[in-house]
Chains A and B, each alone.
Chain A
Amino acid sequence: MRKILFLGLLVLAGAALAQPKVFKGTEIGRPGGAYRITSISDPRTWNPFVARETSSTDIISLFLPYLTSYDPYTQAPEGRLAKSWEIRNNGLTVIFRLREGARWSDGRPITADDVIFSATVHADQRVNSNARSSFILDGQPIRWTKVDQYTVRADFPKPYAPALIQGWYIVPQHIFEPAYRAGVQQLQALWNLDTPPAQIVSGGPFRIDSYVKGERVVLVRNPNYWGVDERNNPVAYLERYTVQIVPDLNAQLARFLAGDSDVFAAANADQVAQVLERIRAGRLRAEIFPNVDVTLGTNFIVFNWNHKDPFKENLFRQVKFRRAMAHLMDKKSMIEVALGGLGQPQWSPISIPNKAFFTDDVAKYEFNPQRAQQLLAELGFRTKNRDGWLVNAQGRVLEFNLTTNQGNNVRERIAQIFRDEARKIGVKVEYRPIDFNELVRQLTSPAADGTREFDAILIGLTGGIEPAFSRNVWELDGSLHMWNLGVGGKRPAKVESFEVLIDTLMKRGATTLDQAQRRQIYVQFQKVVAENLPIIYTVAPAYNPARLTRLGGMFPKEQINSITGQAPYIETVFAKE
């Protein structure tokens, strides 16, 4: 009886859905089955206005809709809840049309009111949503207004290239508005982890079924979802989506080896070997793709151009010095030792997987200690003192401290390899790992006179697909312009000409709408950075995904990439058995 009712509901939902989104999977799948993954930590909340970490947003993205996203095949913008869009006013206005007939899991329609309400709350300064930066462009607000029940309009203060990427979560207004009216605190208390799952309304492919703290989150298919496959069958195919919380990477590996989780990303060569061995022994029906791509994360060394010691400040500002340091990076050893043989050298700020903008045609200062020595000699460091350290004519030893955050094994090893090579030619590098928060403080908090205390820091940033979202790093007044940081949101006191060029390129890149022109701009940006090395990139860790063969709808090896992952959409993944 329950089954018949359920099927009836499905038919009703299908009939009501006038404009479904067609999810083009790699193959037509069959409904049913479960998908199990592991996560390193618990979600913190189900409330998209509170969520700040991927352990929460990875789950929220399964049950809350958003307007647009990237096409997993072309990485161009693609409509999700937005069926189509229209660009007007030379790009200053974008009109999004929503899918008519889309419904929340409680049966209410998803309309422009939900979208506008969500935009208002995300943009509210008091709420401090993590998505707030999507509503401000250079200090001016992006205005969202309702046109009719299924049309919304966004007005930008200036043309904005990523205007079509609107990935903030849309919430049901009928649930969030009363709380929002009552105050920000009530809003933030909504949909916390103690909220009964039945009260959490879904507008995405799944809805929360149960959550056991520290153990697992179970999501089940949302029959009201507005997606279909190419044959007009409703998706998601999967009936059940389980996130098991396993706080240790080795324990996650054990789960995968035991066949208890469906996908896994091996962190190093050792884990790859364990998976391979088990597949060969016939104990695990799985596939692994070692080194199929690199991750978006970066690791780089940055020198402090606001040093209180004028000698060091001057030294770090010399491009010859930075090139010499780049020549001291034995990236081959770094890949061998720090990354276990799986990874690629990185030369420029855009991550290798970001095919739309990445270029390999940049200046590469490859490992070459003789060349480094020569460059340092040109800077005046010609002789060595009694202890074997390079000194200049005034007798100043060429020395600096290098720090990285404690506990990050990859960075610690990269730093050690760099130090050892530098010491071989007489550069006195003292390496010392410190606490992450202290590292961030040294990097981002200049003293009142604008000076900072560190010499060099090895750190990383998580890259993204959209270069404009890293403007805080590259624009002169950015809060993460970390080699040469201004005080109080202003430009740094002394800037080099190439920094101004980078600033201009970033600003142009963010406001140019033509895709080919944008690529040109960002290619030039990568060339300027690679040549002047305000940030010296090291190596990027490999992406080594593995999965059980029971899964269908996954990418073949050539299409796997670290941005999209192993499957184009979760909606079209299915269980073969």
Chain B
Amino acid sequence: MFGYVVRRLLQLVPTFFGATLLAFLVIQLAPGDFVTRLELDPTQDRESIANLRQQLGLDQPLPVQYAKWLSGIFQGYLGLSLSYKTDVWSVIGQRILNSMVLVVLATLMIYLIAIPIGVYSAIHKYTWPDRIFTVLAFLGLAIPNFFFGLIMLFLAVWLNDLTDMRILPIGGMTNEFLHLGNMTRAAQWLFPFALGGTLIYAALFWSRSRRGQTPTFGVWLGLVLFGVSSLLMLAPLLQGPGLPERLPYTESPLWARITNVLWHAFPVVIVVGTSGLAGLMRVMRGQMLDVLSQDYIRTARAKGLSERVVVYKHALRNAVIPFIAGIGGLLPGLIGGAGLVEVTMAWPGITPALLEAISAIDVYVIMGLITITTVLLMVGNVISDLLLAWVDPRIRYS
């Protein structure tokens, strides 16, 4: 096993060089460079255009440019952005973090919803609920995300009009001013419910474990959701009443900023999550159906096990193996951003920055992002393979 890991890690080195060199060449193959668009500016003369090319090192031969960039990478320096004139990490770092908020929340939403629905659809196949889920899944797959994002924006405007309140945000990630007063009042109003929910689920949890039963998924979920909500509300309850009604975002306390970001993330996560949700739901249903038709499931049923045990202990555990193996593949996706939704819903993620960099041919910003993605993809693959060996006893690397 150890030898396998070392071998895999060594293989990463040539892959890394190959991938980055290829990316570099592809970027350079595109016509024009960073300076090209300035050539159509009537106030720029030939001399300053040539000067600028020379200053940015764009007149040097490609191998020299690549070698320079590579030597920077070995010192942990991603290069200098041509348009921002600062290092690439400070251009993309914050944006990657912003995108991660979406991607992490959407991934959680997808897994938490898709797997139970998939299982349900498989067990109750060709019933009405299964058909409805199928239709919804195809709709989710068919609507392009960026378009759904626009629909969501107009839905938000419409909903806010209807209620004359700010129910949903109109794009963006934060507000310029946070209404701390509203947040505090909302927390005061909701806290009893959250606390009540937590207590009920804690009681359920306790009673099950006293009877020697393992708590179900639903109990776990309820406990975590209500518990976390009540914990989150503690901060505004304690701190809120002493604060002014309204503060600029940058001066607000952490809890208020998190709440504001989550509120803005809510519609975007729904948009980002739907297509993934729809796909995963179908895959889960197929996997589950596959496993349920296996001989050992019939055997399990034949020896008189309860349906619950058959489904959750025998079938589900085998059906989710591909998903566990896919976890490693999520790693590069984490920094890859949520796609065009970020543009249409004005989320300051990595996609708008990447699109700008591509249209301006800001070579090192593009390369920086590709490099990080490549490394994470390679590491993710190794992790996937190791996880697979761990969950599936039939696979051995030696």
Contact = CB atoms under 8 A, between A and B. Distances in A.
Interface stretch (A151-159, A254-262, A323-331, A535-543): A254-262
A189 B49 CA distance: 20
Contacts of B176: 36, 216, 218, 242, 244
A493 B355 CA distance: 41
B346 A246 contact: yes
B356 interface: yes
Contact of B30 (A130, A216, A435, A473): A435
B166 to A, nearest CB: 9
A28 interface: no
A189 B85 contact: yes
Nearest to B44: A133
B116 interface: no
Interface stretch (A42-50, A356-364, A545-553): A42-50
B250 A212 contact: yes
**What bracket does the count of chain B residues touching chain A fall in?**
35 or more
B236 interface: no
A130 B84 CA distance: 14
B54 to A, nearest CB: 9
B48 A132 contact: yes
A213 to B, nearest CB: 5
A258 B85 contact: no
**Secondary structure at chain B's binding surface: helix, strand, loop or mixed?**
helix
B352 A247 contact: yes
A192 B45 CA distance: 26
B32 A192 contact: no
Nearest to A246: B346
Interface in B63-113: 83-86, 90, 94-95, 98
Contacts of A461: 40, 42
Contacts of A257: 157
B344 A45 contact: no
B344 A248 contact: yes
Interface string B29-45: 01111001111111111
Interface string B323-355: 000000000000000000001111111001101
Counting chain A CB atoms within 10 Å of each CB, the highest count among B45, B90, B94, B150 belongs to: B45
Interface string A185-198: 00011001110000
Contact of A214 (B42, B85, B349): B349
Contacts of B52: 128
A199 interface: no
B40 A459 contact: yes
B86 A193 contact: yes
Contacts of B90: 193-194
A251 B344 CA distance: 6
A489 B46 contact: yes
A302 B34 CA distance: 24
Given A245-B346, A479-B45, A441 B32 contact: yes
B174 interface: yes
A189 B356 contact: no
Interface string A430-459: 000001111011011000000000000001
B392 interface: no
Given A189-B85, A251-B346, A254-B153, A246 B171 contact: yes
A133 B43 contact: yes
Nearest to B83: A44
A462 B90 CA distance: 32
Given A41-B356, A441-B31, A244 B153 contact: no
Contact of A213 (B95, B160, B343): B95
A53 B156 CA distance: 32
A283 B161 contact: yes
B60 interface: no
A480 B344 contact: no
B85 A213 contact: no
Contacts of B346: 244-248, 251
A503 B277 CA distance: 64
Contacts of A42: 353, 356
Interface stretch (A13-21, A77-85, A464-472, A562-570): A464-472
A210 interface: yes
B45 A214 contact: no
A515 interface: no
B306 interface: no
A255 B171 contact: yes
B353 A214 contact: yes
Counting chain A CB atoms within 10 Å of each CB, the highest count among B30, B90, B157 belongs to: B157
A440 B345 CA distance: 32
Contacts of A149: none
A550 B161 CA distance: 19
A55 B172 CA distance: 18
Given A128-B52, A472-B43, 7 more contacts: A192-B85, A210-B250, A214-B94, A247-B343, A250-B150, A437-B36, A440-B36
18 contacts: A44-B83, A44-B84, A50-B85, A214-B353, A218-B176, A247-B343, A247-B356, A248-B344, A251-B150, A251-B171, A251-B344, A251-B346, A257-B157, A436-B32, A438-B32, A443-B40, A472-B45, A479-B44
User: Lowest 7 A-B CB distances belong to which pairs?
Assistant: A214-B348, A437-B32, A438-B31, A246-B346, A470-B42, A192-B86, A258-B170
